[in-house]
Amino acid sequence: LKKTCQINDEKIYKTAQKDPIKFWDNFAKKEILWQAPWTETYQHAGAYVKWFLNGKINITENIFEKNLENLGSKPAIIWEPEPLNENEIVITYKELFEKVNKLANAFKKLGIKKGEVVAIYMPMIPETIISMLALARIGAVHAVIFSAFSSSALKYRLENLKTKVLITADGYYRKGKLINLKAEADEAILGTSVEKLIIAKRANNPVTTNPNVDFWYDEITKNESADLKAEVMDSEDLLFVLPESGTSGQFLPVMHSHGGYTVYATFTGKAVFDFKPTDTLWCTSDPGWITGHTYTIYSPLLNGATTVIYEGAIDYPHPCRWADIIGKYKATIFYTAPTAIRMLEKQSKEILLTHQFNNLRLLGSVGEAIDEPTWMWYFQNIGKENCPIVDTWWQTETGGIILSSLPGIGPFKPSFTGLPLPGINLEILDENKKPCKQGVEGSLVILPPFPPAILRGIYNNEKSYIESYWSQYGTDIYFTSDSAFKDEHGLIKIVGRTDDTLKIAGHRISTGEIENAAGKTQNILESAVIGVPDELKGETAVIFVICKNNQNLEQTTQDVILEIKKEIGPIAQPKEIFIVEEFPKTKSGKTMRGILKKIYLSQDLGDLAVVSNPESIEKIRSIIHK
């Protein structure tokens, strides 16, 4: 594999380290199609970063105009529906180009303009990708919202974005159940600024329509032209905002720009996944998350690969479904989360006897950190000890992978993510801004020059942008909120979050958001959420609650679960709920969630001098044991 990888010379690290700005400048000139060159490669002022200043570009030209001559008849997207009695849909690059242009022309006729934010609340269907690319084609900004979010969670996000247009679908299938997505969207848009609702037909389930608001996707595109010149975009013009929950439970739409994101998504696809036109990728991530944006959609298409998208649960209607999909489409690259890998391992006995995975050449892991036993099982049983595992660390905020071993270079070490990518400057700092010694845990930070795809801010929330990323160490150091340490070879191991954000099955959800949802239950006076290790999901939520009265406590527990599902979605459902009299608190009244976590995990509590009510600890411990 090393011989055939596009990047296989370790000298690339020294070249990039010597002059990172020149490194990215050279790659952008060589690999990316620009409408006009930039006048300045990099600018960093305070907490704000810009790349390829005054350069003109459109990301869709780097997917279509750049590739069509050689790849027009090659499959760009393969869609696998969940129901076994339905057929897959294969869309070539040429067909995708035409579909994108038709929808883009329809968007323009509906009045969608350059720079306008349009929300997308859709399942894993081709129309989701087509919608994203069509908006990018005309210079509008897409904001994809995870389709499993409830109507309340969707409404909150729509209110924050102040969008006038929402794109959705009639329904979709999940574990055999038909989800009426249109009904969720209808409820969510009430009282918001949404004026138009565009609906794609997926399940043909009965839905209610309002002729003044609703527009059918098929109807608005059927007579449109398949020709459209891409809008000329400045490198720093917004491409998308992606909703992210921050540490306070606030809604934080992270902003990404056309130029830097295009460059970085292209490079990381080549470097980490070695994407080639001969590759078929299956990345299991939904476009509602950054992994779905970059490595289900943009990066493989920018590099001319085929991307597989699957509508349903990977173990439905039988445990072999995921393995069947890999075999059916002869996937060469499989990229998923440790949560999914652990689930596959539990179901693997029959699967490993009937599936050979002969076409796979590369495996990937993303989301929470992967433990050594899971890494080894993945390597031995799915990769047959022939496929490198690229364990990847990155964030919604970085836009693309920051840390990983490269398949053409290595080295690979189970449970260690790897080295910073060429051109990326990472460090692990203590609280005094000093680099940590080998094996010592500290805060993982990014040093300048910052990656081309790093976030350009938080949409309509400059205060949270500064506080979340640039206040801990100053505006010359990006704070990731993750802790890590290095081994003797410089390989980095991610330990966990330093803030109050949980990673449940690879999805970031803040403790504050869950607490806010639980607090809407009538009998809840106060709640505190902690994240605890979970064998399947990597991490899951445990909630401690204080009730207003002791009546119907069992019903209160059920009400909390229902409220969390309603406000956020099933993904945030807690593992356990404990009803307690009080929380351990500091003398200033701050709830000590760290103490709650140590009690739950039966760990040493350390110095309790700052706890104002130490008697609460034994009471909570007895409730947990009971």
State pLDDT tens for residues 200-215.
999 999 999 999 999 9
pLDDT greater than 60 at residue 247: no
d(CA 161, CA 152): 14
| Residue 167: predicted pLDDT | 98
Chain mean pLDDT for the chain: 92
d(CA 19, CA 2): 25
| Residue 490: predicted pLDDT | 94
| 252 against 51, higher pLDDT | 51
CB contact burial 253-281 (16+ within 10 A = b; e otherwise)? bbbbbbbbbbbbbbbbbbbbbbbbeebbb
Residue in the structure block whose two tokens are 């597989």 = 308
- Residue 499: HSE in the Cβ half-sphere, 13 Å Cα cutoff: 21
| Residue 337: predicted pLDDT | 87
Residue 506 corresponds to which tokens in the numbers above?
């690879």
pLDDT greater than 80 at residue 501: no
- In terms of Cα–Cα distance, which of 12, 69, 58 is closest to 35? 58
The 3-state secondary structure of 500-514, one letter per residue: CEEEECCEEEEHHHH
State pLDDT tens for residues 448-468.
999 999 999 999 999 999 998
d(CA 626, CA 621): 9
Q: Which contacts of 473-476 are long-range, i.e. CB under 8 A and separated by 24 or more positions?
A: 473/429, 473/433, 473/443, 473/445, 475/46, 475/47, 476/447, 476/448
pLDDT band at 54 (very low <50, low <70, confident <90, very high): very high
In total, the chain counts a number of residues equal to 626
CB-based contact 114:160 (threshold 8 Å) = no
Residue type, 248: S
State pLDDT tens for residues 114-148.
999 999 999 999 999 999 999 999 999 999 998 98
d(CA 479, CA 499): 11
State pLDDT tens for residues 397-442.
999 999 999 999 999 999 899 999 999 999 999 888 899 999 888 8
State pLDDT tens for residues 67-99.
999 999 999 999 999 999 999 999 999 999 999
- In terms of Cα–Cα distance, which of 68, 64, 77 is closest to 104? 64
State pLDDT tens for residues 570-604.
888 999 999 999 888 754 456 788 889 999 999 98
CB-based contact 138:109 (threshold 8 Å) = no
CA distances from 440 to 297, 435, 493 (A): 37, 10, 11
pLDDT greater than 60 at residue 183: yes
d(CA 293, CA 302): 12
